[in-house]
């Protein structure tokens, strides 16, 4: 029986490592396009990982903060884990204060027959704050991806490309 658990543990580790490698391949200059982010999220779902697996293999300081974010999103949306449990797991694995920067570009709205300027928004947020404020605009943008008025969404670790940005830009 012990061999079964060791083998299961190793296979899950390999699956998460393959997702981590794909993440590295899709990341350009420290930034990940939302299409790749959603693909990674779907890949994680297709592996049918449980919350214990996510806690052990995804919520790790050895892994990229972007992979931590994918695991957070997967836990809240696909596994429907209570935010308090996700927050506790992030804290226990010492990744709750890691930060990401999410930037998105929106087409300008039409107003009285005139098209307003396109908008660029960029928000810097910790994983903890994302969980605590689950219905935040960032979470909605990540969940929807680049659709309708949103042209492009990029996600980056704060210590790379977005470290110079303020907490909110409109």
Residue range 54-60: average pLDDT? 95
User: Would you say 19 and 36 are in contact if contact means Cβ atoms under 8 Å apart?
Assistant: no
Predicted local distance difference test score (pLDDT) of residue 163? 39
Which DSSP letter does residue 96 get?
T
Q: How far apart are the C-alpha atoms of 55 and 95, rounded to whole Å? A: 11
Q: How far apart are the C-alpha atoms of 94 and 88, rounded to whole Å? A: 10
Element (H, E) at 169: strand 168-169
Tokens representing residue 143 in the block: 């969940």
pLDDT digits (tens, 9 = 90+) for 22-43: 899 988 878 899 999 999 999 9
Q: How far apart are the C-alpha atoms of 3 and 80, rounded to whole Å? A: 30
pLDDT digits (tens, 9 = 90+) for 61-98: 999 999 999 999 999 999 999 999 999 999 999 999 99
- Regarding pTM above 0.85, the answer is no
Q: How far apart are the C-alpha atoms of 72 and 66, rounded to whole Å? A: 10
Q: How far apart are the C-alpha atoms of 83 and 104, rounded to whole Å? A: 25
Domain edges within the chain:
2-169
Residue range 53-65: average pLDDT? 94
Neighbours of 166 (CB within 10 A): 8
Q: Among residues 132, 135, 105, which one has the least CA distance to residue 118?
A: 105
pLDDT at 51 over 70: yes
């Amino acid at each position: 029986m012990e061999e079964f658990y060791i083998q299961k543990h190793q296979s899950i580790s390999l699956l998460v490592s393959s997702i981590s490698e794909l993440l590295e391949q899709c990341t350009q200059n420290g930034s990940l396009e939302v299409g790749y982010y959603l693909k990674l999220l779907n890949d994680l779902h297709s592996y049918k990982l449980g919350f214990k697996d996510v806690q052990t293999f995804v919520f790790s300081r050895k892994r990229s903060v972007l992979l931590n974010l994918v695991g957070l999103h997967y836990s809240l949306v696909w596994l429907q884990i209570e935010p308090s449990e996700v927050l506790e797991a992030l804290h226990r694995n010492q990744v709750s204060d890691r930060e990401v920067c999410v930037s998105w570009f929106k087409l300008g709205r039409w107003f009285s027959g005139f098209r307003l300027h396109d908008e660029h928004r960029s928000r810097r947020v910790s994983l903890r704050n994302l969980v605590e404020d689950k219905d935040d605009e960032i979470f909605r943008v990540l969940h929807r991806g680049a659709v309708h008025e949103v042209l492009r969404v990029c996600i980056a670790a704060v210590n790379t490309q977005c470290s110079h940005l303020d907490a909110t830009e409109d």
